[in-house]
């Protein structure tokens, strides 16, 4: 009764914020970007809660902690420093400024305006819609496993309930509804992680931090080390750090937070709030995952097969009291709702704004918000169908999607922000390289038995990392060998030298441009 009551109050909060936001949502800009008027705290918590979803707590933290032990905490460090701190420092201000100049609301719109290629916009829209569907499905799967463990709810029923709630919440209020609730959801997550750490480390199987290290060393000395020692393990860990940290720089649902923030003055505060949030959440999740060998001698079974996705749910069920389990359920629900909302919004925009904007421009003007809402429902249903099919493992499902999308967009977006000499051919080469490597090594190469290079296995995190890094090398090489973009197009994106000088000494001019 207590669990269902707390869950009901949480759902009521979501729907209430959706209703409030619905009354303020009149245009596509309102629905997708909150009219570019979201404050620093809300932007920071939106970034953090989108970053960490049920996949982290249910899939990544369990499997990675089981395999790497304490060295898995390097992923939390990378997420905080590269995925959050450097992302805000390096990308936020330039993204905010350039997307205003180019009047770009989405990643495909930015690439079209920056490189003058309508086909690149169409290609980008299709990549987002196709590959973010399984990403969203992985979030549904992770959350449903937790509902199954904590509430005893049927897997199918949990998926249907989550899909219905996501669709209703988003259709009502769009990004503004997400931003309103993210602050509260972030507080729930911080409180939940603190409580989770307290109960797990206090459990008799752990015995506190120092004792946990001793016991991990007794199980397997490699699990108690600060870093792995073998080359394959080092490469595997580094690829996980890069994929989950640098990869966020190219994910449209993460970059969207830079588009929508109110002004450049808000960026500094949002940077530190987001980074502290990521440190706490990441360290908590991976720290508990690292303790999993103290609770299990072998992986838990699902339908008779070992499944690491059940590690964290079963640890929490064993260590936390009823009230604590309910808070953790709300923690994961909070993280998942924000991630799902961002994924659905970005994917719906890829069709409603980018694809329809090319095929039927008048529809976007007449029916923009209606199209966004309808496509949100369609995207939720597609993700639900994949989740019901229960692919083998959440980690691979998310990693393939994450690696493909990041590999496609990271290099064209990053060079487009900072390097005036990036060409249209260079952007196309980077986008196609990332897609080819990720899809080729994930799906095609295994058909021919190519699954490793010596002792190094080509698993999905490594494939995604190779897609990103290769694309970052390809873009400048091709750009130096191909025709440059017209000067007026580059000036439109970067601004003239005189404009840049005036902005350095007169911050009010930036605000005037944004308001205009």
Report the candidate in 185, 150, 163, 156 with the shortest Cα–Cα distance to residue 58: 150
Tell me the C-alpha distance between 231 and 388, whole Å. Answer: 38
Tokens at 323, concatenated: 């009230």
pTM summary value: 0.81
Task: Say if residues 363 and 355 touch (Cβ distance below 8 Å).
Answer: no
Tell me the C-alpha distance between 182 and 87, whole Å. Answer: 19
Tokens at 298, concatenated: 């072998």
Tell me the C-alpha distance between 291 and 418, whole Å. Answer: 42
Q: How far is CA 439 from CA 17, 445, 466, in A?
A: 39, 9, 12
Tell me the C-alpha distance between 107 and 335, whole Å. Answer: 23
Tell me the C-alpha distance between 25 and 103, whole Å. Answer: 19
Q: Quick one: pLDDT at residue 506?
A: 45
Report the candidate in 72, 75, 145, 76 with the shortest Cα–Cα distance to residue 393: 145
Q: What is the distance of C-alpha 4 from the center of its chain? A: 28
Report the candidate in 337, 300, 334, 330 with the shortest Cα–Cα distance to residue 318: 300
Q: Quick one: pLDDT at residue 88?
A: 94
Task: Convert 154-189 into a string of H (helix), E (strand) and C (coil).
Answer: CHHHHHHHHHHHHHHHHHHHHHHHHHHHHHHHHHHH
Q: Quick one: pLDDT at residue 508?
A: 47
The distance in angstroms from the start CA to the end CA of the chain is 53
**Virtual CA dihedral for 164, 44, 242, 134, nearest 10 degrees?**
10
Tell me the C-alpha distance between 373 and 34, whole Å. Answer: 15
Residue 54, number of CB atoms within 10 A of its CB: 30
DSSP code, position 23? T
Task: Convert 420-458 into a string of H (helix), E (strand) and C (coil).
Answer: CCCCHHHHHHHHHHHHHHHHHHHHHHHHHCCCEECCEEC
Q: Quick one: pLDDT at residue 368?
A: 58
Q: Are strands 452-453 and 456-457 parallel, antiparallel or unpaired?
A: antiparallel
Q: Quick one: pLDDT at residue 274?
A: 92
Tell me the C-alpha distance between 333 and 153, whole Å. Answer: 14
Tell me the C-alpha distance between 164 and 320, whole Å. Answer: 29
Tell me the C-alpha distance between 468 and 21, whole Å. Answer: 37
Task: Say if residues 84 and 75 touch (Cβ distance below 8 Å).
Answer: no
**Which residues are CB-neighbours of 187 under 8 A, at least 6 positions away?**
none
Tell me the C-alpha distance between 339 and 336, whole Å. Answer: 5
Q: Quick one: pLDDT at residue 457?
A: 82
Task: Say if residues 67 and 103 touch (Cβ distance below 8 Å).
Answer: no
Per-residue pLDDT of the chain (516 residues; tens, 9 = 90+): 777 787 788 777 777 766 666 666 555 555 544 455 577 887 888 788 778 765 666 667 888 888 899 999 999 999 999 999 999 999 999 998 998 898 887 888 899 999 999 899 889 888 887 887 777 777 777 667 667 766 677 777 877 877 777 777 666 655 566 666 667 777 877 888 888 889 999 999 998 888 999 999 999 998 888 888 888 889 999 999 999 999 999 988 888 888 877 777 788 889 999 999 999 988 988 999 899 999 988 887 766 777 777 788 788 888 888 777 777 777 777 666 666 766 776 766 666 666 665 666 665 555 556 777 777 778 778 877 877 776 655 556 666 888 899 999 999 999 999 999 999 999 999 999 999 999 898 888 887 778 788 778 888 889 999 999 999 999 999 999 999 999 999 999 998 644 544 444 344 444 455 454
Q: Is 301 helix (H, G, I), strand (E, B) or coil?
A: strand
Give the domains, in start order, of the chain with CATH numbers.
2-395 (1.20.1730.10)
Tell me the C-alpha distance between 32 and 16, whole Å. Answer: 19
């Amino acid at each position: 009764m207590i669990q269902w009551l707390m869950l009901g109050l949480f759902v009521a909060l979501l729907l209430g914020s959706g209703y409030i936001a619905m009354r303020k949502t009149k245009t596509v800009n309102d629905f997708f970007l909150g009219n570019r008027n979201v404050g620093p705290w809300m932007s920071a918590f939106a970034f953090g809660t989108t970053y960490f979803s049920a996949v982290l707590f249910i899939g990544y933290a369990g499997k990675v902690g089981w395999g790497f032990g304490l060295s898995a905490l390097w992923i939390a460090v990378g997420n905080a420093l590269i995925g959050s701190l450097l992302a805000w420092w390096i990308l936020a201000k330039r993204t905010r400024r350039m997307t205003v100049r180019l009047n770009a609301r989405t990643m495909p719109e930015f690439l079209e305006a920056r490189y003058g290629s309508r086909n690149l916009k169409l290609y980008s829209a299709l990549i987002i819609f196709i590959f973010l569907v399984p990403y969203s499905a992985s979030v549904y799967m992770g959350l449903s496993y937790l509902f199954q463990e904590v509430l005893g709810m049927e897997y199918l029923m949990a998926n249907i309930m989550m899909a219905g709630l996501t669709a209703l919440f988003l259709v009502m209020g769009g990004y503004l509804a997400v931003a309103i609730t993210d602050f509260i959801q972030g507080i729930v997550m911080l409180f939940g992680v603190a409580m989770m750490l307290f109960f797990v480390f206090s459990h008799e199987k752990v015995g506190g931090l120092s004792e946990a290290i001793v016991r991990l060393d007794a199980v397997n000395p490699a699990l108690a080390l600060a870093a792995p020692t073998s080359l394959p393990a080092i490469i595997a860990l580094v690829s996980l750090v890069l994929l989950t940290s640098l990869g966020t720089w190219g994910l449209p649902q993460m970059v969207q937070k830079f588009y929508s923030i109110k002004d450049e003055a808000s960026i500094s505060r949002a940077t530190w709030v987001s980074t502290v949030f990521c440190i706490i959440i990441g360290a908590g999740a991976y720290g508990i995952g690292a303790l999993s060998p103290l609770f299990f001698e072998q992986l838990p079974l699902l339908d008779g097969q070992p499944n690491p996705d059940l590690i964290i749910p079963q640890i929490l069920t064993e260590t936390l009291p009823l009230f604590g389990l309910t808070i953790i359920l709300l923690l994961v629900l909070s993280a998942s709702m924000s991630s799902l909302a961002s994924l659905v919004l970005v994917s719906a925009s890829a069709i409603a704004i980018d694809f329809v904007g090319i095929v039927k421009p008048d529809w976007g003007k007449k029916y923009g918000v209606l199209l966004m809402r309808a496509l949100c429902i369609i995207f939720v249903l597609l993700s639900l169908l994949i989740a019901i099919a229960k692919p083998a493992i959440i980690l691979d499902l998310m990693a393939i999607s994450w690696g493909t999308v990041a590999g496609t967009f990271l290099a064209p977006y990053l060079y487009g922000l900072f390097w005036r000499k990036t060409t249209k051919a260079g952007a196309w080469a980077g986008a196609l390289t990332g897609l080819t490597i990720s899809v080729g090594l994930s799906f095609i190469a295994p058909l021919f038995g190519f699954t490793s290079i010596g002792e190094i296995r080509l698993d999905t995190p490594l494939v995604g990392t190779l897609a990103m890094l290769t694309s970052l090398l390809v873009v400048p090489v091709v750009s130096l060998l191909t025709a440059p973009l017209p000067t007026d197009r580059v000036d439109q994106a970067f601004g003239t030298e005189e404009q840049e000088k005036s902005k350095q000494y007169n911050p009010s001019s930036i605000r005037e441009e944004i308001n205009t």
